Homo-oligomer: A and B are copies of this chain.
C-alpha cells in the first residue's frame, strides 16, 4: 500500500484557570502551549514498523507480519471509538511484555502507538512498513500534555499516511491545519491513545492538542472559545515532584473539614475563569488594552492565592511568584500544583531584557524555564521547509 510521508506537530496544554475547582463541577480554561511535539512519518521497505522516541530514549522495531497477527478479526470493537478494544489492548500488552498495572512512560507510549497504528490500518487489509520519529519540546510527566500532543501527532500522521484524511498542505503553504471533520477524527483517535496512557482521561488534553487555542471545560463538556488572543508567557517547571492524586485528595479533605470556607473559594475560582474568558473575548473583538492585561494579571494573582488556600501551593511556587513579581510579572501554578509548573504572563510591552533576566532568575532557582505562547494553533502538518532546523536534525537521526 502507498504510505504518505509527513511531518506533523501538536501543542502542549496548560490550565489557565480552574485547576482543582474543575474536579468539583466548576469550569476550567485549558490553553494550548506552543511547546510542540513533532512527528515525522517515513515509509520504509524493511517490513518493519519502528518508533523512535529520543526524549525517553526508546527505539523499538517490530516485524509487520508479527504485528498483523494481533489485528482483531472482528473490527466492531475497534471501530467503536467510545471505548478501547479491550481484547486488542490485552494482546498488545502481552505482545510487548507490559503486564497490567505497568504505567511507565515508555510502555504506555509504545502501547498507544501500536494501538493507533493497528486501529488506523486494520481496515486496509495490510499493515504498512514505516518509521515514526517523535521529538518534543515539552517535558514529560509535568502535566503539560506531552502524552496528548504525542497521541494527537500519532493520530494525525497515521490517518494521513493511510489516506484516511488528506494533507492540508498546498503549494503556497508550508504549514497548514486540517478542516473540522478531519480534526474531529484526529481527536477521536488521539483520545484512544490518551485512554491507553491515562486510563480515564477527561479528553481536554487531546482536544487542546487538536484544536489549540483555548477551551472551556465544564462538567465534562468541552467548548473551544471561538477567537482567542495569543498570549506570551513564561512556562516554568519547578521540578518539584508531586502526586496529582494526593493533591486532589488533599483539596477534598479541606472541603470536608471546612465546607463553608472552601466552597466559596471554588465559587470565586469559577468566577475567575468566567471573567478571564470574557476578558479574552474582549481582547479579540476589540484591540487588547493595558487594562485587559491588568485584569489578566489580577486574576492570576487571585487564583494563585486561592490555590494556596486549597493547599496545593508549594514554597518553590511562592519563590517563583516572588521572583517574577520582582520583575513586575505575575505568575500562578498550572495544573495540579504542589510544585510542578507555573505560567507567568508577559505583556506585549514587556521588554526582551526583562524576559531574559526573569528567565535567568528562575534558572538560578534551579527551575527549567521556556518563553512560549498560549493560545497557539492545534495540530498542524508541516513541509520540511517549515520545521526548525534543530528539530529536523533530531528527527533525521533515526
Q: A: which residues have CB within 8 A of B?
A: 258, 260-262, 264-265, 267-268, 271-272, 274-275, 298-299, 301-302, 305-306, 308-309, 318, 322
- Identify A261's interface contact among B261, B262, B272, B308, CB under 8 A: B272
Contact B302 A275 (CB under 8 A): no
Output the least CB separation between A295 and chain B (Å).
8
- A-B pairs with lowest CB-CB distance, top 9: A260-B271, A264-B264, A264-B268, A264-B267, A305-B305, A261-B271, A305-B309, A302-B309, A261-B268
Contact A268 B265 (CB under 8 A): yes
Instruction: List B contacts of A306 (CB < 8 A).
Output: 305, 309
**Bound CA–CA A301/B262 (angstroms):** 13
Nearest-CB residue, chain B, relative to A325: B315
Instruction: List B contacts of A301 (CB < 8 A).
Output: 308-309
**Bound CA–CA A264/B264 (angstroms):** 5
Q: Given A305-B309, A309-B306, are A264 and B258 also a contact pair (CB < 8 Å)? A: no
Contact B258 A275 (CB under 8 A): yes
Nearest-CB residue, chain B, relative to A254: B298
| Interchain residue pairs with CB less than 8 A apart (22) | A258-B275, A258-B298, A258-B302, A260-B268, A260-B271, A260-B274, A261-B268, A261-B271, A261-B302, A262-B268, A264-B264, A264-B265, A264-B268, A264-B271, A265-B268, A268-B268, A301-B309, A302-B309, A305-B305, A305-B306, A306-B309, A318-B322
**Bound CA–CA A268/B275 (angstroms):** 20
Number of copies: 2
Instruction: List B contacts of A299 (CB < 8 A).
Output: 261
Q: Which of A260, A274, A302 has the most CB of B within 10 A?
A: A302
**Bound CA–CA A45/B298 (angstroms):** 65
**Bound CA–CA A318/B305 (angstroms):** 12
Instruction: List B contacts of A261 (CB < 8 A).
Output: 268, 271-272, 275, 299, 302
Output the least CB separation between A107 and chain B (Å).
40
Nearest-CB residue, chain B, relative to A298: B258
Instruction: List B contacts of A305 (CB < 8 A).
Output: 305-306, 308-309
Instruction: List B contacts of A275 (CB < 8 A).
Output: 258, 260-261
**Bound CA–CA A248/B37 (angstroms):** 49
Output the least CB separation between A356 and chain B (Å).
24
Other A-B pairs, 20, CB within 8 Å; known A258-B271, A260-B268, A260-B274 = A258-B298, A258-B302, A260-B267, A260-B271, A261-B268, A261-B271, A261-B275, A261-B299, A261-B302, A264-B271, A265-B265, A265-B268, A268-B268, A268-B309, A301-B308, A301-B309, A302-B309, A305-B306, A305-B308, A305-B309
Instruction: List B contacts of A309 (CB < 8 A).
Output: 268, 301-302, 305-306
Output the least CB separation between A265 and chain B (Å).
6
Output the least CB separation between A397 and chain B (Å).
47
Output the least CB separation between A253 and chain B (Å).
11
**Bound CA–CA A309/B306 (angstroms):** 8
**Bound CA–CA A264/B298 (angstroms):** 16
Output the least CB separation between A259 and chain B (Å).
8
Output the least CB separation between A30 and chain B (Å).
20
Output the least CB separation between A141 and chain B (Å).
29
**Bound CA–CA A298/B310 (angstroms):** 11
